[in-house]
Chain A
Amino acid sequence: MDDEKVVARFLETGDRAMFGVLVERYQDRVFRLVASVLGPYSGSDAEEVCQEVFLRLYQKIRQFTGQAGFGTWLYRIAYNLAIDWRRRARFRLPHVSVEEIHGLASSSDPLEDVLIKETKDLVALAMEDLPDLYRTALYMHYWLERPVEEIAELIGIPIGTVKSQLFRARNILKDKLGRILGKTEKDGRPS
């Protein structure tokens, strides 16, 4: 039975088992989308947000008109909710200022493993600072190792756009890190 029929049956009969079918069918993909929006550094729990997404779906399912596919509609709900959670979580997490980032880059600890850790932290901070869509696509591709086709489906954009977003995200990161590391070298501190 396709999604639209399951939704129609659920609305007709109010049978929760039908809603359960939708949850089973979409839970993994919604979870991956939510996890990549929140990212590996966020303080939020992806599963909790995912639960909230399905609860929102239950409350809003009568608003589903069938103009877009059910999946597309659900992914939109999940994306918006996860973005909200991420913004709220950002205020709960300790704020890292630009000065601190520079300080991190310019600390002159001789131990190599400390330097490597610092460098990774720098890359992580730069990734966290990317625009929402770029960051989501980046995490989905590099962290969760999902194919471009799935990213396109979950974010709701064409495959070509996903590829160009990944390309632009890499360029932004390179620029950002170049600036930070360049400034460190200009300050005359060893890297």
Chain B
Amino acid sequence: MKREEIMNDSMDKTIRETLKEKPWPKLSADFASAVMECVERAEQKRALSRRAAVILAVYWLAVIVISGFIFTGIKWPWWFPVVFLAMTPFVFLAAAAPRGLRRLGDRFLRPII
């Protein structure tokens, strides 16, 4: 296909000539089962996020209730709010850990396995 041919021939031929060497994409034979696996993983992920959401909700509820008690004058030991504040990052980590670990596994272990 020369350049002058592009101008003279129909575009039909030019396009066909250009695309004819490009191989057709093929869907692998086990595509459906791969999708079903993916769906199952997504379901597990959803269950994990639901659990994480429950952990966080319980924690924040406790924070709100206890700070309410503190501000309304009920006497609590001094270390109580300190412990809660100190726990905050760990609660977030615990909530995020299953998802993070799964992602790390997907990223590094799946290509090996």
Contact = CB atoms under 8 A, between A and B. Distances in A.
A115 B27 CA distance: 34
B11 interface: yes
Given A47-B31, A58-B42, 20 more contacts: A16-B39, A20-B32, A23-B32, A23-B36, A24-B32, A27-B27, A31-B25, A31-B31, A35-B25, A47-B28, A54-B35, A115-B2, A116-B2, A138-B15, A142-B16, A173-B11, A173-B14, A177-B6, A181-B3, A191-B3
Interface size class of A (residues with CB under 8 A): 35 or more
B38 A46 contact: no
B18 A27 contact: no
Contact of B31 (A35, A50, A105, A173): A50
A127 interface: yes
Contacts of B19: 40, 139, 142-143
Interface residues of B, number: 29
Contacts of B16: 142
Contacts of A40: 19, 22
A20 B6 contact: no
A165 interface: no
Interface in A4-30: 16, 19-20, 23-24, 27-28
Interface of B: 1-4, 6-7, 10-12, 14-19, 22, 24-25, 27-28, 31-32, 34-36, 38-40, 42
Nearest to B18: A123
Nearest to B42: A55
A50 B38 contact: no
A170 B1 contact: no
A157 interface: no
B18 A181 contact: no
Interface string A139-173: 10011100000000000000000000000001101
